[in-house]
Amino acid sequence: MKKRWLINLILLLLVAGIAAFLYLRPEQQVQTEKTHELSTLKLADFTSLRVEFPTKAPVIFEKTDGYWYMQQPYKARADQTIVQRILSIVAATSKEKFPASDLGQFGLDNPALKVRMGDEEFLFGTYNPVSGEQYVAYKDAVYMVDPVYSETAATQPIELVSKHPFQPGEKIAGFDFSRLEQWEEIRLQVDIVDGNWKISAEGAKPEQDRMNEWLEMYWIKAAATSVEPYAPDRRAAYPSVEVKLQDGSKVHFDKLQESPELLLARPDEGMLYHFPQDVGFTMLNPPIGLKK
């Protein structure tokens, strides 16, 4: 009994000693790695963006009504996500900061590219051989940042064009498929009237939910696999689709081919959109519930 009492006492003293040590020990200083912000600029501050290269023409964007458009080398709607990635250099941070007194040391006397946003300019130089980060000069300092900023800015210009076939604010109200071979005989018209789908074909029994899903997935959220400039041949007569908009206007698409991929051209914007064959087939053949 006495032996058990002594063991309990020793355990009690041990626990008390540990508690006292934890309570009285000096607090450890948390070491935080210092970082430097390249700028205090905000992405929303800018309405112009220019990417300049030493040996080729610059890529130029302008922001209109909250949306970025490429001005050079193409007149086209820009891929908003990629433009935002280029602009995000303003919010980059760096573990290192050097005075911009010897730009040649960092390959910034002849930069690989320049990014201009309004009156602000970022210069991109060589890479640090140890960390792989890139030297970037802004105002009177040089920083080391992830190369993703310059890699994105150096993307081929055609890849910076939006792959969505509709402009911001273009709301779909219906389709005229009557100029496509498979619908030419019945002159197919597909419209949204008072929130419901109306089909011109006799005997069509569309399921509203399936039609809504078709519209959402294959037209509203449609994204081409690639785009390219398109110069319409005025002498050629292509099968076509007219997309009706809520404001009463229409968007015309020429169908250049359907296999091995769907090629839809938008003459008013001068762009040709490439879609996979299976996606393209569904785009042009809505689930109208027509038994043939």
CATH number of the domain enclosing 143: 2.60.40
124 shares a domain with 226: no
Q: Is residue 237 part of a domain?
A: yes
Number of other residues whose CB lies within 10 A of the CB of residue 126: 13
40 shares a domain with 102: yes
Mean pLDDT for the stretch of residues 11-37: 59
Whether 35 has a pLDDT exceeding 80, the answer reads yes
156 shares a domain with 77: yes
Q: Is residue 165 part of a domain?
A: no
197 shares a domain with 119: no
pLDDT digits (tens, 9 = 90+) for 231-276: 988 888 899 999 999 999 999 999 999 999 999 999 999 999 999 9
pLDDT digits (tens, 9 = 90+) for 83-136: 999 999 999 999 999 999 999 999 999 999 999 999 999 999 999 999 999 999
Whether 41 has a pLDDT exceeding 60, the answer reads yes
214 shares a domain with 279: yes
* Percent of the chain with pLDDT strictly greater than 70: 88
Mean pLDDT for the stretch of residues 187-215: 95
pLDDT at 29: 45
User: Across all residues in the chain, what is the average pLDDT?
Assistant: 90
pLDDT at 291: 72
Domain of 104 in residue numbering reads as: 36-160
Mean pLDDT for the stretch of residues 138-163: 97
Q: Is residue 105 part of a domain?
A: yes
Whether 202 has a pLDDT exceeding 70, the answer reads yes
Q: Is 163 exposed, middle or buried (0-12, 13-18, 19+ CB in 10 A)?
A: middle
Cα 282 from Cα 224, distance rounded (Å):
14
pLDDT at 115: 98
Residue that is last in its domain, among 128, 160, 192: 160
194 shares a domain with 92: no
Whether 195 has a pLDDT exceeding 60, the answer reads yes
pLDDT at 30: 45
Mean pLDDT for the stretch of residues 288-292: 80
Cα 134 from Cα 124, distance rounded (Å):
7
273 shares a domain with 207: yes
Give the lowest-confidence range in 68-72, 185-189, 233-237.
233-237
Q: Is 149 exposed, middle or buried (0-12, 13-18, 19+ CB in 10 A)?
A: buried
